[in-house]
Amino acid sequence: MASTSKYLELADALAAQIERGEYAPGQRFPTVVELAKARNVAPNTVSRAVQVLKERGLLSGKVGGTTRVRVQPIPQLRSNERYQTEKDRVLLPEQERRTAGVAELDSGVSLAEMFESTIRIDVIPAPSDVAETLGLEAGALVRRSISTRRHKEGAGVGKSVSYMPHDLARKNPQLFDHSQEPWPGGALHQLHTLGVEVDCIIDVVSASMPTDSERAEQDIPPGVPVLHIRKISYSTDGQAVELTEIPLPADRIELRYVTPLKRWP
């Protein structure tokens, strides 16, 4: 078995090389056999050092597969103040709404700079929990929008899934047209075209360890949990009109909640 000092010393040395740019993001990392030979150490020492670097978020890859230098995710700040910003933009001219959305403000990366940005729109029977939240009959149809973004080649994706009652969304056929995406002004403007003003948004936040598919798709290091935000938008008459599910790996997100309090008389 590799001694604690040996594999940690090797991990630190390899980390220093990565941080100096001697291995480029996305580049294949040497195999255990290659490193063991080059460093004149036991393969088990290398294996444990590589696992440490995966836990530190410097390397990516499954055991037994190709290991690569990790393309670092973009740190994001998500504040509840973003919703007022989004609502304020709803009434702006289209050209101004197209300049940037709140998602770009969160990350500081514009859509034009993204390596990949896709939105898939379909119509499906609402999952039971979605139907319950939106106040729909079991099996009622919803418009589903799945958004995926990747800021650089080889990076993990950012993903969100939104649901809107089909009976509401069908009032504007453009909401089903992929060529209209990304929609200038986002979901609040989409609802505005349907005659809906959003009056309240509730974020329900939970956490879990990622599934295997989430870990691979979003490039989540071992031991890092996923925060699940369920964003529910309500109209001025108290009806839930849109639900968005947003998984956010905890190694790249800061949640900030600002709560104004009424002053005492």
Of 15, 36, 69, the one marking the end of a domain is 69
Q: For residue 38, is it within any domain?
A: yes
Q: State the Cα–Cα distance between residues 137 and 132, nearest whole angstrom.
A: 8
Mark whether 18 and 138 lie in a shared domain: no
Q: Find the distance separating the first CA and the last CA of the chain, reported in whole Å.
A: 69
Mark whether 84 and 62 lie in a shared domain: no
Of 69, 90, 109, the one marking the end of a domain is 69
Mark whether 171 and 244 lie in a shared domain: yes
| Total-model pTM | 0.90
Q: State the Cα–Cα distance between residues 222 and 187, nearest whole angstrom.
A: 33
Q: For residue 262, is it within any domain?
A: no
Mark whether 10 and 88 lie in a shared domain: no
Q: Among 246, 259, 254, which Cα is nearest to 206's?
A: 246
Q: How many domains does the chain have?
A: 2
**Residue 23 near residue 29, CB atoms below 8 Å:** yes
Residues in the chain: 265
Mark whether 54 and 178 lie in a shared domain: no
Mark whether 98 and 113 lie in a shared domain: yes
Phi (first) and psi of residue 89, to 5 degrees:
-80, -15
DSSP, collapsed to helix, strand or coil, labels residue 87 as helix
Q: Helix crossing, 43-55 with 4-19: angle to 10°?
A: 60
Q: For residue 265, is it within any domain?
A: no
Q: For residue 220, is it within any domain?
A: yes
Mark whether 8 and 93 lie in a shared domain: no
Residue-level pLDDT, tens digit, the chain, 265 residues:
445 689 999 999 999 999 999 999 999 999 999 999 999 999 999 999 999 999 999 999 987 789 999 999 999 999 999 999 899 999 999 888 887 666 666 666 777 788 998 999 999 999 999 999 999 999 999 999 999 999 999 999 999 999 999 999 999 999 999 999 889 889 999 999 999 999 999 999 999 999 999 999 999 999 999 999 999 999 999 999 999 999 999 999 999 999 989 999 8
Mark whether 31 and 118 lie in a shared domain: no
CATH code (residue 174): 3.40.1410.10
Neighbours of 167 (CB within 10 A): 12
Tokens for 176? 């089903």
Of 17, 36, 69, the one marking the end of a domain is 69
Mark whether 25 and 102 lie in a shared domain: no
Identify the sign of the CA torsion 125, 244, 216, 29: positive
Mark whether 123 and 160 lie in a shared domain: yes
Residue 251 belongs to domain spanning? 76-256
Mark whether 85 and 65 lie in a shared domain: no
Tokens for 64? 């037994």
Mark whether 244 and 187 lie in a shared domain: yes
Q: Among 80, 12, 93, 18, which Cα is nearest to 49's?
A: 12
